[in-house]
Amino acid sequence: MTTSEREPTSYVEMFHGASDKPFNRWTTFTIRDSFDDPLGSFDFETRPGEDEFERYYETLQKGDMVLIKVNGHIQQLGLIQTKTTTFSRDGGGVIRLQGNWPISILYDSCVDPNFTIDTITDTRAVGLVQRIANEYGLFVTAEDRWDSTVNVMTGKALGGDVQDLVKVEELKVGQANPHQNEKAYTYLARLITRLGAVLRQQYDGYLILSRPHYKQPVAYNVALPPSGNDADTDLFMDNLTITDSNNEQYGTIIVRGESSDKKGQKRTSEPEVAMCVEGKVVMQPVVDKAYEKAAPGVPPPQVEVLDDEFNTFIGNPHHQLYQAGNVQLTYYYGEIPGVFAPFRFKPLYIKDKSARDVQQAKNLAMLMFGLRAPRAFNITGTVPGFVSASGRVWTIDTICNVQIPQIGLNEDMWVLERTLKLDRNGGQTTDLKLLPKGWFMIGEAPSG
């Protein structure tokens, strides 16, 4: 799609059940959606004029649900949390609406401390979520429908299948008693994340058990000038920022769980898992540089792990064995200054009573890496408009090819966050935060 073929501006509408007309007279707004923040947020400001002021003021109230669309494509069901009305001396009125997605109700509400599903057999996780969500007027879908959801939100089919959908029906939880004064979302997340999934809200307001979808076709192409002259490539505006940090990052995370004994059973040992950063990521550049110097033109061998489980081991967390061709490598944290210094042995120990087996402990360790991943490495930048050169509305949990010739980067990356903005001059832009594919880890869930 060429620049001339794109709509110069997108139209953003808000729909309310009590009005047969959309609300679209916005002076400024932001719509933020991020995979690591299920609450989302919106902030709309309008000066509707005398002819529409009463309809806007009387209809749009705090606590109301509204549907937000971009170019007719549903983006989210929102919940108005705060309404502010300001009048100027000339009598003109400005209305500001701020809110989140309805899943925020679970953040604000405490779960009944007497609630329990402590049964002999495991319970379907989706059933647990539904029992809790029903208390607050929320509903949950029993399947991962990202393949169809992304088509609705972007307004254009991906042109290929999403291959890593979660088998929601196979997610089971055991003992699940809430803590005193525990928030409903905290309670559910404490159990679901141990299964390798997260609780989010999809565009129609239904809650879903999901995870990042890395195995899907590329939806967007974006580049830093002077690259990106193709018609289907967007160009970053203004400043592009690449953040690479070790702050609050750990080389190893050790999770000690709780025994899964039932009453009357013999005591068993507590599950324990230690996970390290990907040694393969560290070792491969070392091998590449060695071959480049010793044997120019010879393709270097790929680094392969010798352990049965890649990056997962119990016992000594300080080293791991790898092999490149016929050369065996031992990865010792911090032993080779300048090469492994960013990945020195820096442990984090976690005691988690909700982790009842090794897999759940492993999932929590992966989640702890994943939640810190956006701060470890990310690319942030702004592109013009709300619709990409590919004809799709910018949407999170999608794949975007990123080209930055200044550092030799040409890589498919994952869209963690997007913020649609309208400024007072009518300018429309989208802020993006991009991560390497696979960087944001949740755990291992059943997938299709």
Domain enclosing residue 335, as ranges = 261-345
Residue 320 lies in a domain: yes
Cα separation, 353 vs 349, whole angstroms: 13
pLDDT at 281: 43
Residue 157 lies in a domain: no
Cα separation, 135 vs 133, whole angstroms: 5
Count the domains in the chain: 1
Residue 288 lies in a domain: yes
- Model confidence at 4, pLDDT cuts 50, 70, 90, reads very low
Residue 282 lies in a domain: yes
Cα separation, 250 vs 425, whole angstroms: 44
pTM: 0.79
Residue 325 lies in a domain: yes
Residue 92 lies in a domain: no
pLDDT digits (tens, 9 = 90+) for 402-447: 999 988 889 999 999 999 999 988 899 999 999 988 888 776 654 4
Query: Is 421 buried (19+), middle (13-18) or exposed (0-12) by CB count in 10 A?
Result: middle
Residue 79 lies in a domain: no
Exposure class string for 97-119: b at 16+ Cβ within 10 A, else e: bbbbbbbbbbeeeebeeebeeee
Lowest mean pLDDT among 3-12, 144-153, 335-344: 335-344
Cβ pair 7, 428 in contact under 8 A: no
Angle of helix 184-192 relative to helix 125-134, nearest 10 degrees, comes to: 180
pLDDT at 264 over 90: no
Residue 371 lies in a domain: no
